[in-house]
Amino acid sequence: GDSVTQMEGPVTLSEEAFLTINCTYTATGYPSLFWYVQYPGEGLQLLLKATKADDKGSNKGFEATYRKETTSFHLEKGSVQVSDSAVYFCALSGQNTGNQFYFGTGTSLTVIP
Amino acid sequence: NAGVTQTPKFRVLKTGQSMTLLCAQDMNHEYMYWYRQDPGMGLRLIHYSVGEGTTAKGEVPDGYNVSRLKKQNFLLGLESAAPSQTSVYFCASSASGRAHNEQFFGPGTRLTVL
C-alpha cells in the first residue's frame, strides 16, 4: 500500500543554517506530495505541494522537488530562522485513493539563536 | 471565513464515558476526515466522509463512530472511552477526492481518558 517514510528527529539547528528533511514514498501510479507544518499547539498547515514528477513546490523559503526516479520529496531551506521551529510532516495523496492522505511520522525542528 | 473549527478544544473523560467531537467547515467542502495524532506515529485516519450522508472507515476505526448529517458538519463519537483513546484529534476537509487537493485542518481536540 501507499506509505511515507520521513527522517526521524528531533533536529536542532543554529539560525541561518541549511535545512534538509528527507522524505521518501511508496505509491502506485502518480501521487501528489505535500509538506505540512505544525506549530506548537496548533493544527497542520500546508507548507507546499507538488502534483507531478519534477514539480518544485516552494513557500516561505522552503522548497521540495518531486523526484519520481528516487521516490523522494525532500524539504530544504537555505537559511532557517527561529520562527521555523515546528514539526514538519510529509504526506502523500494517492492517484486513486479519494484524496486519502498518508502521513510520515513528523520531524521536529528546533532553531536556536 | 473560519475554515475548519473543532469543539471542544480540551476534554478529560473517565473510562467508559461517552462523548462527541464536533467538526464544522464553512468552505463547502465535500470530503471530511477525522485523524488522531499520537507521539511518534504521525496522523492516522479514523473515519472519513465523501459527502453528506456518507461515512467510511479509515486505518484505525475501532471504538469510534461518525456521522455526516449535514455537509458542513462531521461528528466523531466515542461510545465507551478507553485510555488507549487518549490522543489529539484533528478534523480536516478537502474540496474533492482529487489527489492534488490539499486538506485543511482544524486546531485539534486534546482528549485525555483516565
Identify whether the C-beta of residue B6 lies closer than 8 Å to the C-beta of residue B109.
yes
Q: How many helices (H) and strands (E) does chain B have?
A: 0, 11
For residue A113, the cross-strand partners are: none
Comparing CB atoms, the residue among B42, B100, B107 nearest residue A43 is B107
DSSP 8-state code for residue A67: B
Strand bridging mode B10-13 / B109-113: parallel
Short-list A3, A6, A2, CA closest to A89: A6
Test A93 with B101 for CB contact under 8 angstroms. yes
Give, for all 114 residues of chain B, the pLDDT tens digit: 789 999 999 999 999 999 999 999 999 999 999 999 998 888 999 999 999 999 999 999 999 999 999 999 999 999 999 999 999 999 999 998 877 889 999 999 999 999
Nearest CA in chain A to B37: A105
Q: Cα A102 from chain centroid?
A: 12
- The C-alpha cell at B26 is 464553512
Top residue of B27, B105, B109, B110 to mutate, by most chain A CBs within 10 Å, is B105
Comparing CB atoms, the residue among B50, B97, B105 nearest residue A44 is B105
Radius of gyration of chain A from Cα atoms? 14
Predicted confidence (pLDDT) at residue A22 exceeds the cutoff of 90 = yes
The per-residue pLDDT for range A35-74, each reduced to its tens digit, is 999 998 888 999 999 999 999 999 999 999 999 999 999 9
* Residue A83 three-state SS: helix
